Structure 1
Amino acid sequence: MGFLDIRNVTKSYGAVEVLHRVDIAVEEGEFLVLVGPSGCGKSTLLNMIAGLENISGGEIAIKGRVINGVHPSKRNIAMVFQSYALYPNMTVGQNMTFGLEMHGVPKPERDKALAEVSKLLQIDHLLDRKPGQLSGGQRQRVAMGRALVRDPDVFLFDEPLSNLDAKLRVDMRTEIKKLHQKLRTTIVYVTHDQIEAMTLSTRIAVMNKGYVQQLGTPKEIYDTPANVFVATFMGSPAMNIVPATVRLREGVPHAELTDSEGQTRHLRFSQPGLAAWDGRDILLGIRPEAITDPEGADRKSGNIQALPNRVGVTEPAGSDTFVTMSLSGRDIISRMRADVNVQPGQMFDFAVNMEKAVAFDPKTEERIAP
């Protein structure tokens, strides 16, 4: 049993079920991120935890207390919205303590909570201003402060950074991470941004079409994706997915592919269990950073495979150079060092870290266990 338990939860609108049997146990102090494309059900699930949406099936419990049907004000949760939802006619200080006032908290306690939280968020000099006098980042801090002063059991964040520009989004991401590390609060955070999900979370629930596709740590999600959707949704650039056939060579499974010239190439797997797939088609998944130049290859890997192939496009990107090639008719992206000497059209010895390769069943698109 977790601190926040989501047990077999479903959500239907009429005859249409939009959330399907979601099971997640969130431990106290955990930072769970719900991530997925628009319409996947992540905000609906968050609203059900908050009490803003009714639960069609299953149950949600906080600290062992089932909260199905409990009014939002009685759930001891705090929510930070995408739109900030600040009262424009109130000062920052009044916005932050309004909820406490409505719950009958005495003024000395309200003032103490306001002083502590405003100092923590470095907005104590803004308490007399109105929201219209603040920048986007400052308004976001006020919205977070309004949640923090209440000291709830669970914090809910609904895409809180999506209205900020790119640089401010990165800065606020760092601030939220620091805040969680300092306070060890329990957070459920919704985003469609997989970078936010990877950097903020202790665990991630990747959602698509109302189903939780995979629940795990950022490393588990990134290194061992449960299926092709997770593999391609998480990571930027996305994982390369290429058709291949498993062939045993001297008893060891290899991925058989064709290069840009139509020549057959073989890459040795590190997973001996794939020998059972001898002669069968698979989808081979390799992250861009696992394909590089020989000098930039991972020295700790015990399975770097050479792959001669023709270079397609090179894209300098500051700290990296992205180099495209073709395998089995698919464009493949590799991530190389910034100063690598690679020219479009030349033959080049790509270095493939097959310890990082994963295989998927082309029919189910599920990962094949090694």
Structure 2
Amino acid sequence: MGFLDIKNATKSYGAVKVLYETDISVEEGEFLVLVGPSGCGKSTLLNMIAGLEDVTSGDIAIKGRSMIGVKPAERNIAMVFQSYALYPNMTVRGNISFGMEMHGIAKPERERKIGEVAELLQIQPLLDRKPGQLSGGQRQRVAMGRALTRDPDVFLFDEPLSNLDAKLRVDMRTEIKKLHQKLGTTIVYVTHDQIEALTLSTRIAVMYGGYVQQLGTPKEVYDNPANMFVAGFMGSPSMNLFPARVTNHDGTIAAEVRLSDGTQARLPFASGTMAAHEGREIVLGIRPEAITDRDGADRNSSAIHIVEAPVELTEPAGSDTFVATNMGGKDITARFRADVQVKAGDRFPFAINMEKAVAFDPKTEARIA
């Protein structure tokens, strides 16, 4: 039993089912991120934990106590919203204090907690300002400060950074991660941003179509995606997915891939697990960082294979250069070193690390190796 247990929970609106049987057990101090595209059910699940949505079937329990029928105010949870939900007519001090006043906490204790969270979040100079005088990042800190004074069992974050600009999102990600490491609180965090999911979480639940597609650590989800949706959704740029055929030449099992110039490339698999699939059509998955220039390839890998292929496009990106080619009729993105001299129209050697390759069934989209 975990600290927060979601047991076979579903949600329906009339005949429309938006969340299918969901089982997640969250340990105390974990940082669980629910990630997926709009409409996948992640915010619905968060609202069910908060008590803002009823559970159609199944159960949600916190510290072994079922939350079915328990009002949101009685769940000892704190929620940080996308919109911050600050009272515009109150000062920062008033916003942070308001919830404590409603729970009958004495003024000296309120002042002590305000001082603690203001120092923790570095918002002491802002306490007498109103929300309209604050930047987006400052408002988000105030919303977090208000939640922190509750000392809740579980923190719930509903896309808290989506209204911030790109640089501020990165800064606030760092602040939230530091906060979690310092306080050791249990957090459930909803986002559609897979970079947020990978950088913040101790575990990720990737959701799509009302189902949890995969639940695991960031490394598990990134390196060993359960299906093609997870492979394509997690990572930036996303995993390259292209058709191939499993062949056997003199005992070497390889993925045979057609290039844009009509030639065939053979990519031997790093292990013998694909021998059982000889002759089968598959979808091969390889991340951009596993397709690079020859000198940039992983020197610790014994499964680097060179494929000469036409370069279709180059995109300098500061520390890297992204290079596009085509395999199996699909556009492929490779991550080269920034100083590699390569241009569109070249026929260039791509170094492919087959230790990092995964294979999927093109019909079911499930991973087969």
Query: Into which bin does the TM-score normalised by the smaller protein fall?
Result: over 0.9
Cα-to-partner distance string for 1:86-116 (whole Å, 9 max, x where unaligned): 0111110110011111011111111111111
Deviation at 1:124, TM superposition (A): 1.2
Q: Give the 5 Å matches for 1:7-18.
A: 7-18=7-18
State the superposition RMSD in angstroms: 0.7
Deviation at 1:273, TM superposition (A): 1.2
Is structure 2 residue 357 aligned with structure 1 residue 357?
Answer: yes
Q: Give the 5 Å matches for 1:331-346.
A: 331-346=331-346
- Distance in 1, Cα, partners of 2:250 & 2:59: 54
* Amino acid corresponding to residue 289 of structure 1 in structure 2: E
* Amino acid corresponding to residue 160 of structure 2 in structure 1: P
Is structure 2 residue 145 aligned with structure 1 residue 145?
Answer: yes
- Distance in 2, Cα, partners of 1:74 & 1:250: 68
- Distance in 1, Cα, partners of 2:183 & 2:162: 24
- Distance in 2, Cα, partners of 1:259 & 1:165: 40
Partner of 1:68: 68
- Distance in 2, Cα, partners of 1:163 & 1:330: 34
* Amino acid corresponding to residue 20 of structure 2 in structure 1: H
- Distance in 2, Cα, partners of 1:141 & 1:297: 42
- Distance in 2, Cα, partners of 1:316 & 1:92: 44
Is structure 2 residue 79 aligned with structure 1 residue 89?
Answer: no
- Distance in 2, Cα, partners of 1:314 & 1:85: 44
- Distance in 1, Cα, partners of 2:142 & 2:311: 50
Partner of 2:126: 126
SS at 2:339's partner residue? coil
Partner of 2:179: 179
Partner of 1:32: 32
- Distance in 2, Cα, partners of 1:251 & 1:105: 74
Deviation at 1:202, TM superposition (A): 0.5
Q: Give the 5 Å matches for 1:1-370.
A: 1-369=1-369
Deviation at 1:224, TM superposition (A): 0.4
Deviation at 1:249, TM superposition (A): 2.2
Q: Which runs of 5+ in 2 are unaligned?
A: none
Deviation at 1:160, TM superposition (A): 0.3
Deviation at 1:119, TM superposition (A): 0.4
Aligned residues: 369
- Distance in 2, Cα, partners of 1:268 & 1:190: 39
Deviation at 1:251, TM superposition (A): 2.0
SS at 1:151's partner residue? coil
SS at 1:302's partner residue? coil
SS at 1:295's partner residue? helix
* Amino acid corresponding to residue 197 of structure 1 in structure 2: A
* Amino acid corresponding to residue 80 of structure 1 in structure 2: V
- Distance in 2, Cα, partners of 1:347 & 1:137: 47
- Distance in 2, Cα, partners of 1:33 & 1:147: 18
- Distance in 2, Cα, partners of 1:234 & 1:144: 27
- Distance in 2, Cα, partners of 1:252 & 1:44: 48
- Distance in 2, Cα, partners of 1:248 & 1:220: 29
SS at 2:246's partner residue? strand
SS at 1:339's partner residue? coil
Deviation at 1:155, TM superposition (A): 0.1
Cα-to-partner distance string for 1:241-267 (whole Å, 9 max, x where unaligned): 010010122223100111121111110
Q: What TM-score, normalized to structure 1?
A: 0.99
Q: What TM-score, normalized to structure 2?
A: 0.99
Cα-to-partner distance string for 1:168-227 (whole Å, 9 max, x where unaligned): 111001000110010010000000001100100000000001000000011001000000
Cα-to-partner distance string for 1:118-172 (whole Å, 9 max, x where unaligned): 1000001111111111111110000000000110000000000011111111100
Cα-to-partner distance string for 1:41-89 (whole Å, 9 max, x where unaligned): 0000000000000000000000000011100000000000000000111
- Distance in 1, Cα, partners of 2:246 & 2:327: 15
- Distance in 2, Cα, partners of 1:64 & 1:260: 58
Quick check: 155-164 or 97-106, which moved more?
97-106
Q: Which runs of 5+ in 1 are unaligned?
A: none
Q: Which 4+ runs in 1 deviate beyond 3 A? A: none
- Distance in 2, Cα, partners of 1:84 & 1:328: 47
* Amino acid corresponding to residue 248 of structure 1 in structure 2: N
SS at 2:220's partner residue? helix
Deviation at 1:21, TM superposition (A): 0.4
Quick check: 105-114 or 223-232, which moved more?
105-114
SS at 1:307's partner residue? strand
Quick check: 40-49 or 326-335, which moved more?
326-335
